[in-house]
Amino acid sequence: MSSYQSLAGSYDELTVDVGYRKRAAYLNRLLQKERQPVETVVDLGCGTGTITCLLAAMGYRMTGVDLSEEMLTQAAQKAETLPEEQRPLLLHQSMPRLRLLEPVDAVVSTLDALNYLTSGKALQETLNRVYRWLRPDGVFLFDVNTPYKLRRMDGELYIDETDDAYCIWRTSFSEKTRVCTYGVDLFRLRPDGTWDRTWEEHRERAWEEAELRAMLEKAGFGDIRVTGDLRQTAPRPDEDRVIFRCRKPKTAEKG
């Protein structure tokens, strides 16, 4: 079963503690400080579209991209609540196959979407595609779960629940592959009072900062800065999530 095929319908209720508005406000502050006005933004790995729609409501012309049809269905329903002129364009694409109608001013990717790229080839191709579809001087903002966090999750069990959903996450980390695997059991209450059970697997790669910097540079990015989560100061050694900010050079050729 593919990632989020079952979890998509309960994802928003189970992640109410993520702090989407705070994260969108942080992104907005960074985008507002750009040297040139940012109007068009891609949300890469947009999931159920919460960040996409929050940024759209702030005035950005948004495009949300995700591989999961089920998550995009949730995003489309969310987009319908916005005024027609603010509704984002939603694209069903994998990150390494990103293809847009035209270059954009910025690309953002939040909540460890890039950790789901577990091979160096897939990650490098994704960074290449982002670079290609950014206009010169465009900015790329993304976060990743740190190796510190993913290693710490080895052997852990996490429970999320709502009135009609119960989710159990079992995690293991492989030092050989540097991949954290989440086995997810999801129980959902049916109208007749019984419960449906589904299972799916998620995998995240622990990417070191040096690896990501090297790949970004190989793709052509410059002005690479790394901060702690939702801060503008250097990451701490025990940081669970870090944010990368980089730029396509102003002199880069289009396309």
Task: Mark whether 72 and 194 lie in a shared domain.
Answer: no
What digits encode the pLDDT tens for the residues 173-224? Answer: 999 999 999 999 989 899 999 999 988 999 999 999 999 999 999 999 999 9
Whether 130 and 104 map to the same domain: the answer is yes
Examine the domain organization and report whether 130 and 172 are in the same domain.
no
pLDDT value of position 163: 86
**CATH code (residue 15):** 3.40.50.150
Determine, yes or no, domain membership for 253.
no
What is the C-alpha to C-alpha distance for residues 81 and 66, in angstroms, rounded to an integer? 20
Question: Is the CB of residue 202 less than 8 Å from the CB of residue 116?
Answer: yes
Q: Are residues 130 and 235 in the same domain?
A: yes
pLDDT of residue 164: 87
The residues, any chain, with a CB within 8 Å of residue 196's CB and separated by 6 or more, are 187, 188, 190
The token pair that represents 174 in the structure block: 């492989």
Evaluate whether residue 242 is within a structural domain: yes
The answer on 72 and 30 residing in a single domain is: yes
Domains: count for the chain: 2
CB 227 within 8 A of CB 235: yes
Q: Is residue 3 part of a domain?
A: no
Of 145, 152, 132, the closest CA to residue 212 belongs to 145
Q: Specify whether the backbone of 111 is left (phi greater than 0), alpha (psi in -120 to 50) or beta.
A: left
Which one has a higher pLDDT value, 131 or 7?
131
Same domain, 240 and 165: no
pTM: 0.92
The domain that contains 185 carries what CATH number?
2.20.25.110
| Residue 108 pLDDT exceeds 70 | yes
Domain assignment present for residue 1? The answer is no
One domain, residues 132 and 100 = yes
Q: Residue 252 domain-assigned?
A: no
| Residues 107 and 141: beta-carbon distance below 8 Å | yes
Residue 2 placed within a domain = no
Distance of CA 79 to the CA centre of its chain: 18
Which residues have C-beta within 8 Å of that of residue 121, sequence separation ≥ 6?
A: none
- Print the domain residue range for 100: 8-146+207-247
Residue 254 lies in a domain: no
What gap in Å lies between CA 173 and CA 68, rounded to an integer?
Answer: 24
d(CA 102, CA 135) in angstroms, rounded, equals 9
Is there a single domain that holds both residue 166 and residue 142? no
Residues 92 and 74 in one domain: yes
**Confidence band of 2 (pLDDT split at 50, 70, 90):** very low
239 and 159 part of one domain? no
Q: What is the CB neighbour count within 10 angstroms for residue 52?
A: 31
Residue 29 and residue 60 in one domain:
yes
Q: Per-residue pLDDT tens for 34-49?
A: 989 999 999 999 999 9
Query: Has residue 135 been placed in a domain?
Result: yes
Q: Evaluate if residue 255 carries a pLDDT over 80.
A: no
Q: Do 34 and 158 belong to one domain?
A: no
Stronger pLDDT, 165 or 133, i.e. the higher one: 133
